[in-house]
Copies of this chain bind each other. A is one copy, B any other.
């Protein structure tokens, strides 16, 4: 029996070197398979970069997006299967199985292509990866759009998982680049609303910033307060409760006035034990 389903964002998917790269799906899959490079925060542990180095020597200009030799296999395999007509959901299941995942389903929110695009003051519109990796998040974002999200539909597998869930956790990903692009996909928000599961978000914010990543900057671009309270307002009536960091304890009252239960806990995750404890909190919330 599967007792855990991870529904993943696809808004950071992109084509590199003719291959379909799905960074969020892969990070989830590699992490659950125990092969993720946790120190680096992406890719496979112990991976090397020989193919990428050679691509650079040959004159490719896309090498700012780092793909390891083992990681390349995932993208080659996925792209071939997609071209054979398999859906992203099917391909993700095949890769998960091959990497040894058991008792966990990893489901892309949609099988269609959705792209989180950042409008910047300095360089115009670009893919999220370009904003975050190529430009190191140093440009000034003025807006964020989820290109293709409305035209895309949530998959039947996700709809079913959401409908039958006892509890749904909105993980402490970047609200603008990890959670909202999923909610923008036609049918996903409706499925969440219809589900009788208890819905608990974990805020990625502490004080007026995020633990890591460009969340604060991008929330500001969306004219949202880059705080746990801002996250609570953004998720609004989609969630029953939110877990916020101890440092944001003072926001509890204001959050609860918006009709969302607020659980105060330590949310900074440095070790596997921290992660497990926070998961416990979210599951009990």
* Chain A residues with a Cβ under 8 A of chain B: 17-19, 47-48, 50-55, 57-60, 69-70, 72-74, 76-77, 79-80, 83, 94-95, 98-99
Q: Is the CB of B80 within 8 A of A58?
A: no
Q: Is the CB–CB distance between B51 and A72 below 8 Å? A: yes
CB distance from A42 to the nearest CB of B (A): 16
> Which residue in B58, B77, B98 is a CB contact (below 8 Å) of A17?
B77
Q: Closest chain B residue to A52 by CB distance?
A: B73
| Distance (whole angstroms) from the CB of A227 to the closest CB of chain B | 42
A70 touches B98 (CB 8 A): no
A18's contact among B48, B55, B76, by CB below 8 Å, is which? Answer: B76
**B76–A19 touching, CB < 8 Å:** yes
**Residue on B with the closest CB to A98?**
B58
With the chains together, A72 CA to B48 CA distance in Å? 14
Q: Which of B18, B51, B52, B57 contacts A80 (CB 8 A)?
A: B18
- Other-chain residue from B50, B79, B95 in contact with A50 (beta carbon distance below 8 A): B50
Please determine whether B77 and A58 come into contact, CB atoms closer than 8 angstroms. Answer: yes
CA distance A51 to B187 in the complex (A): 37
Assembled-state Cα–Cα distance A52/B54 (Å): 16
| Separation of A47 and B50 alpha carbons in the complex (Å) | 9
Given contacts A77-B17, A77-B60, A80-B17, contact A69 B98 (CB under 8 A): no
Contacts of A55 in B (CB 8 A): 73, 76-77
Chain B residues positioned under 8 Å from A74 (CB to CB) = 54, 58
- For the complex of A and B, the 8 pairs showing the least CB-CB separation, nearest first, are A54-B73, A50-B69, A55-B73, A54-B70, A18-B80, A17-B76, A58-B98, A58-B77
Residue of B at shortest CB range from A80? B18
- Report which of B60, B73, B94 forms a contact with A51, defined as CB distance below 8 A: B73
Residues of B within 8 A of A70 (CB): 50-51, 54
A-B contact pairs, 6 of them (CB 8 A): A18-B18, A47-B50, A58-B77, A58-B94, A58-B99, A72-B72
Q: 20 additional contacts, CB 8 Å, given A54-B72, A58-B99, A69-B69?
A: A17-B80, A19-B76, A48-B50, A48-B69, A51-B51, A51-B69, A51-B73, A52-B73, A53-B73, A54-B70, A54-B74, A55-B77, A57-B98, A58-B73, A58-B74, A58-B77, A58-B98, A59-B77, A60-B80, A72-B72
Nearest CB in chain B to that of A100: its residue = B57
Q: Complex formed: what's the CA distance from A74 to B94 in Å?
A: 27
Given A58-B73, A59-B98, A74-B54, is A79 in contact with B48 using a C-beta cutoff of 8 Å?
no
